[in-house]
Amino acid sequence: MARGQDEVHTRNVISRAQEGDLLEFPRGLYSHWAVYIGKEEVVHLTGNGNGNDIGNSGQVFTICGKTFKKAEVKKESIWNVVSDSLVRINNSKDRHIRPRPAHAIVREALSKQGEVGYNVLWKNCEHFTSLCRYGVIRSDQADKALLGTIIAVPAIIIGAIGGLTSGSLARKKEKT
């Protein structure tokens, strides 16, 4: 639970949040996302249980350093979700995608409770909130991760080939 200035910050955000707003909880390398449904409650895709749970996918993932074998959509108090991170209202996709009416966003989020499934690149908490607010599955942080991979892998391969080539040229010069 937030303490001191963090609690004041969270209370300030809650006082401004409207039903259907997307809340972002920056947590270092990634952000956690939730749909605000009013009365200090959110709906979000989060880990269910602990590392000993038997998941239906057999895949293991972490959220905030806790290991899980499955995830589910839950309704919770924002105070259970905020933990030691700050929270902010982030409806930035509104600039590109028209949001649904607030009541439809909340209804969509609540209808997904109990759904199980998680994939960091294709079905994460930001994908979930985007689906609820816009009717479109989208995650900017997953897109950035994919783009980074798409750029990094060829660069590594080119670098490796370049290293091999320059090493071969150096050996040829030594022989001549």
Same domain, residue pair 129 and 145: no
Same domain, residue pair 59 and 129: yes
Query: Rounded distance, CA 158 to CA 68, Å?
Result: 37
Same domain, residue pair 86 and 159: no
Are 118 and 49 a contacting pair, CB within 8 Å? no
Query: Rounded distance, CA 120 to CA 124, Å?
Result: 5
3-state secondary structure 88-102: EECCHHHHCCCCCCH
25: which strand partners?
32
Q: Which of 9, 96, 125, 132 is catalytic?
A: 125
Q: Which of 32, 96, 103, 127 is catalytic?
A: 32
Predicted pLDDT at 124: 82
Is 32 one of the catalytic residues? yes
Query: Does residue 27 sit in helix, strand or coil?
Result: strand
Report yes or no on whether pTM surpasses 0.85: no
Same domain, residue pair 174 and 114: no
Predicted pLDDT at 172: 54
Bridge pairing between strands 41-47 and 88-89? unpaired
Same domain, residue pair 52 and 130: yes
Domains of the chain: total:
2
Same domain, residue pair 61 and 92: yes
Is 44 one of the catalytic residues? yes
Query: Does residue 153 sit in helix, strand or coil?
Result: helix
Stretches in the chain below the pLDDT threshold 50: 1, 50-61, 148-150, 152-153, 155, 169
Residue that the structure tokens 């991760």 belong to: 145
Name the residue range of residue 19's domain: 5-138
Predicted pLDDT at 164: 54
Are 93 and 130 a contacting pair, CB within 8 Å? yes
Same domain, residue pair 80 and 159: no
Same domain, residue pair 25 and 76: yes
Query: Rounded distance, CA 93 to CA 133, Å?
Result: 10
